[in-house]
Structure 1
């Protein structure tokens, strides 16, 4: 685990806008790694959508996220940043959450300052806790980690509630409390994005939601600004929904869904993603 943790820390310290897609399950994480991405994000929204078929309204719990993280860690070797929402309770709960997620294979957690039940950062109607409560959670998280290479990403959703200046003040308090990475959710303009690396010294993550509130600029632009991580939490999930809908609609309409239709991965491509050849080799090795 220290290997991936050190790798993640080096990626963050470089501040070169590392693209980080979200994975809702081990299969999508395998594709992310196979395509050469340097890190993946275990998305709470994605787990909620795929595991429960429900919206990102705080329905997943610690056991859900730990189980998915463990499965993903077993499948890939790249660093994992894991969404733990509000930490699933108060500062004491956050201590437990950190210990569980570190054992499950996470290299960082993303902890936010919403009240429960939390909502997607680009939904309306969010509520936030006091800054002092969030600071206590960050301190509890840093105290609970076993490795200094297990990183704490502190997120504020206060931009939508109190405005940009107040959100920056929160970020500065999170930085002082010991957060390794700062994540101001849902800035609404390029001007706000450009201000963040100037106002906050700690490494930062920017979250880009297709159809959300934050302007989507080129990755080079975010690298030039000095962001460490550029998160696309649900591009893989949204593309999977679109692909499944097209293929199943074609099937229902009596159209071809063969390998030449362009609607599916081929049978062999599917087996490559799940690394069937490696299991075949093991079977042969241990055959009696």
Structure 2
């Protein structure tokens, strides 16, 4: 069964899917080990971790595909990849989709911002026309063929044009063939409820960014409203930044991490990353006289 088929089964199943955002293979493996059924990449996190830059459209398609491809190969659960705007027109989108299928991705997110895009919870976003993005969604559906890749259409129209325009666009993107709808950055519980009421038969994404524009409500609350996916895109990035800063601050101030209690033990990390398995494989191919 392909990753896309696995994701489609999860979407069809009752209940909400809680998806942590990841930006590297280590984070993805932690997500899988903890029992989450799906992981998703965060363009915000990949930009910060690979370039040391904000989510301001600095990532190229090549950089994004390289990152998400490695992440997909490091886990067995489905991976949804943030593919920004598709990095161009419908032809670029079609190539992105074909590359996504070859990399084994379960789904991709395509948004209707102008390029260069910005994080959905930043100010100053601009969107392309509804017709242009609907064309990109149709192109993505055509390019995926029979691969079962899940197409998630995202609209960022709430900020610059208002919620009613986001609804109008959402309907157009679903009609164009998107499997899931993602209305980015609603600004209140009432707006979240309005999204769910407007699209009662469509799988919906809620994007919860700590300190962002959308209220930080729980997955059970979102499920009760009618959402299918609760995405926490930067939670891991923010937590990692906090703990790494604290650790390095102690090292800088005291010259030791001996009293820093939040570190995973080295031996435990070796187990987690698979050293015993690879040591066993290695031993199978070492000549007896050298063993």
TM over 0.5: yes
Quick check: 197-206 or 87-96, which moved more? Answer: 197-206
Measured against aligned partners, the alpha-carbon deviations of 1:77-128 in whole angstroms (never above 9, x if no partner) come to 0101000100000011100010011111211110000001100000000000
Aligned to 1:108: 107
Give 4+ residue runs of structure 1 displaced > 6 Å after superposition: none
Q: Does 1:30 align with 2:29?
A: yes
1:252 and 2:235 aligned: no
1:205 maps to which residue? 205
CA distance in 2, matches of 1:224, 1:253: 48
Who is 1:277 aligned against? 276
Match of 1:142 in 2: 141
Q: Deviation digits for residues 27-74 of structure 1, max 9, x if unmatched?
A: 110111111111001111111000000000011121112111221122
> TM-score normalized by structure 2?
0.95
Partner SS state of residue 154, structure 2: strand
**Are the counterparts in 1 of residues 3 and 104 from structure 2 also a CA contact under 8 Å?**
no
Q: Give the number of equivalent residue pairs.
A: 286
How far 1:203 moved relative to its partner? 0.6
Q: Shift of residue 235 of structure 1?
A: 0.7
Match of 2:8 in 1: 9
Equivalent pair of 1:27/1:273 in contact (CA under 8 Å): no
**TM-fit CA distance, 1:15:** 5.2
Cα drift, residue 234 of structure 1? 1.0
Q: Is residue 91–residue 140 contact of structure 1 (8 Å, CA) maintained in 2?
A: yes
Match of 2:154 in 1: 155
Q: Does 1:242 align with 2:249?
A: no
For structure 1, list consecutive stretches of 5 or more residues without a partner in the other structure. Answer: none
CA distance in 2, matches of 1:50, 1:248: 17
Gapped runs of 5+ residues in structure 2? Answer: none
Q: Are positions 1:171 and 2:173 aligned together?
A: no
Secondary structure of the residue that 2:254 maps to in structure 1? coil
2:222 — aligned with what?
222
**Which shows bigger deviation, 218-227 or 88-97?**
218-227
Separation (CA, whole Å) in 2 of partners of 1:106 and 1:202: 21
Residue 138 of structure 1, CA deviation: 0.1
Identify the range of structure 1 (108-117 vs 219-228) with the bigger mean alpha-carbon deviation.
Answer: 219-228
Q: Determine the C-alpha separation between the residues in 2 that align with 1:250 and 1:5.
A: 44
Counterpart secondary structure, 1:261: coil
SS at match of 1:33: helix
Distance 1:92 1:207 in 2: 28
**How far apart are the structure 1 equivalents of 2:67 and 2:239?**
20
TM-score, length-scaled by structure 1:
0.96
